[in-house]
Amino acid sequence: MKSKHTQARPATSPRGTHLMLRYAFIAATLACVVGAFAWTAGWFSQRLTPQRIVDGFEGMSGVHPGFRRNHAKGICVTGRFESNGAGAALSKASVFKAGVYPVMGRLSAPGSDPTEADERAMVRSFALSFSLPDGEQWRTAMNSAPIFAVRTPEALYEQLAASERDARTGRLNPLKMDAFLKKHPETRAFHSYIETHPPASGFDNATYYSINAFRFTDANGNARYVRWSVVPETPYEPVREDAARDADFLAHDLVSRLARWPIRWHLMISVAQPGDPVDDSTRLWPAERDRERVDAGTVVIDHAQSQIDGPCRNISFDPLILPAGIAPSSDPLLAARSSTYAVSFNRRTREEARFTAGRN
């Protein structure tokens, strides 16, 4: 695939719109943020396939050949994880043994349109792949909101349908979204969070959350459910009004900062206590879980590369690629991600292959 640097279209801020239209926009954004969580055996009828879910994401802004169907606009990053050994008390995973491990990742904004202006992004995302001893890998895909708007793959599919734009006007239908919100009151928590937590001014000063729970097993066989986050050393600041003048300010600012110094986040692990939900991504854990977090080490990013030909180009950040000592929970969204990620990956790589063959 050959592509020039993204040229984003200017966009109109959603401020001042009718409340329901704003909720429709938020929910449409979330439909992209949750990223292709759609299919796993037993969750859907035979008529609903991962291919149809990916079709739903494509329907939100059209097909952009060679790009990811979600988080189409992003930038590759590389660096290391400096493990301090504290995480070994919770998991036997090799990543938590004291040492330094290479990481490769991708910072992105939600959506299937690689030309979308950054000012429209209410959420930032950070995907990481840790290269570990003995050929193991740990991949994680995190968002800057700590919860999802929907709990199940079925609800996601309904949300995609409610977020579909009118073919003639290109606009969302607030009546469809109103019906979805009434059927799924659990989405209110996400709406409330987005309304009260402005997005960070850059990729570097946002906290990113695993959202889903995972099961950690230590060297003695003790199992605990956890969620994690990466917390920046750079102080949080809300997005600036003047950032809208640059449609690609997130990547531009990241590159500028990395030219001066590496960017660091602390990997913080929160442990569930009895009664904390481990299979519902729409519900936060009590605030004291964050106060009791374990600092397992530091993610250090020191280089950025174009997503067109950078190291993250041909990787799927499947969060079920896990080292021994980390296992998925029973969260239905988490269990549904792998097969739909694979469909998206296969589509874009086939498009790239056809493009390359056409040039030869």
Among 5, 71, 191, 252, the active-site one is: 71
Distance between CA atoms of residues 83 and 90, nearest Å: 13
341 is in an annotated binding site: yes
Give the residue among 263, 238, 256, 258 at the shortest CA–CA distance from 119.
238
Active site residue 71: yes
Amino acid at 40: T
3-state secondary structure of 121: coil
Q: Tokens in use for 262?
A: 């590496």
- Main-chain dihedrals φ then ψ at residue 85, nearest 5 degrees: 90, -10
Distance between CA atoms of residues 236 and 221, nearest Å: 38
CA angle (342, 53, 313) in 5-degree steps: 35
Give the residue among 342, 303, 301 at the shortest CA–CA distance from 321.
342
Q: Tokens in use for 137?
A: 């890998």
Do residues 97 and 138 lie in contact, with contact meaning Cβ atoms separated by under 8 Å?
A: no
Give the residue among 188, 163, 187 at the shortest CA–CA distance from 177.
163
Amino acid at 197: H
Binding-site sequence positions: 341
Task: Supply the residues annotated as catalytic.
Answer: 71
